[in-house]
Amino acid sequence: MVHTNNENVAFITGASSGIGLELTRKLLNEGWQVVGLNRSDWPAEDQGLQSAARQGQLRTYKTSDLSDFNSLRQALELIKANEARIDVLFNNAGRSFPELEYSKQGRELHYELMTVVPYIVTMELMDLLKSGRLKTVINTSSAVVSRVKSFDPDQLARPTTFRKLLGPYATSKLALSLWTKSIAPKLVAEGIEIRSVDPGGNNTLRKGKRSGLPIWLKPIMKFFFSPPTHGAGLLYAGARGKHQGHTGVFLMKDQPVELKFREHAQHVLDQVCTIYETEFLGR
């Protein structure tokens, strides 16, 4: 297949499973090129994905651990060396953990993976975004941010308590949406729009996967939540739908919603920026 400059290019973290996989399929079906940064391989039985990969419409970069700065740095260097542009960046990778766990850098894993890493990926791929036409960043957040009762940015990296879903997972997603809001004016000056999007309730249960979901939620998710195509559609709408031209917003059910604890947005942004500059870049 010969690709042209008329094809949009999407970059997706966590593209090989769940919502990210369905988003990949949707974009490929609509003629996009897709670049995935994944830990796992594409489903071997999906002939459409395998064909797209052989033809270069689907390109893959692997990392053993997205939250490990050394592994992430190597993958991002390859991406910057081999890709020409990115039209839409989807910071989608995420996971709920069943207990307090910490990254190789020593921070709580939800926070590292879902708050810090999306900032690093965005900063590192800024030049590719500037070379794109759509110049859009979509951060996958969650409706659970509305359930956060208290928020202390200084405890994000090393929380003193843990609660499944409503603990570090929720505060990390809230922190992601807060820095998204705070950085938006700066990115607008570069011609880049950024939004955080709740993909809604999706059945992303996988057998054999340790989960941080409360036990009561699992049967509800199995029988009542939408398939991941629903979340993929909301992420796509967040990028290419009616909210184009609006930046920094948090979208829930494809509508802007005011975030709680907005007074901490700049502090959260300062935190992730400092981690990026001092630890990832080593300045």
Measured CA to CA, the distance from residue 24 to residue 36 in angstroms comes to 8
Q: Is the pLDDT of residue 182 over 80?
A: yes
Is it the case that residue 259 has pLDDT exceeding 60?
yes
Q: Which whole number is the average pLDDT over 154-176? A: 96
Residue 185 has pLDDT above 70, yes or no: yes
Burial 107-142 (b: 16+ CB within 10 A, else e): bbbbbbbbbbbbbbbbbbbbebbeebebbbbbbbbb
DSSP state of 280: I
Reading the block at residue 8, the tokens are 């949009």
Class of domain 9-280: alpha beta
Model pLDDT for residues 137-154, shown as the tens digit of each residue:
999 999 999 999 999 999
Task: Kindly tell me if the per-residue pLDDT of 10 is higher than 70.
Answer: yes
Instruction: Round the CA-based radius of gyration of the chain to a whole number and report it.
Output: 18
pLDDT of residue 204: 66
SS3 for 82-136 is HCCCCCEEEECCCCCCCCCCECCCCCEHHHHHHHHHHHHHHHHCHHHHHHCCCCE
Would you kindly state where each structural domain of the chain is located, as residue ranges? 9-280
On whether the CB atoms of residues 120 and 72 are closer than 8 A, the answer is yes
Reported confidence tier of residue 59, pLDDT bands at 50, 70, 90:
very high
The per-residue pLDDT for 1 is: 40
Which residues are CB-contacts of 67 (< 8 A; sequence separation ≥ 6)?
103, 104, 105, 109, 112, 113, 117
Q: Is 16 in contact with 36 (CB distance < 8 Å)?
A: yes
Reduced DSSP (H G I as helix, E B as strand, rest coil) percent helix, strand, coil of the chain, to 5: 45, 15, 40
Average pLDDT over residues 181-195: 97
Which percentage of the chain shows pLDDT scores above 70? 89
Angle formed at CA 71 by CA 172 and CA 166, multiple of 5 degrees: 15
How far is the first Cα of the chain from the last one, in angstroms, to the nearest whole number?
43
Cβ atoms of residues 67 and 113 within 8 Å? yes
Output the CA torsion sign for 230, 235, 236, 237: positive
> What is the average per-residue pLDDT within 210-239?
77
pLDDT per residue over 15-41, tens digit each?
Answer: 999 999 999 999 999 999 999 999 989
**Over residues 157-161, mean pLDDT:** 96
In angstroms, rounded to a whole number, what is the distance separating the alpha carbons of residues 171 and 250? 15
8-state DSSP, 155: G
pLDDT > 90? residue 213:
no
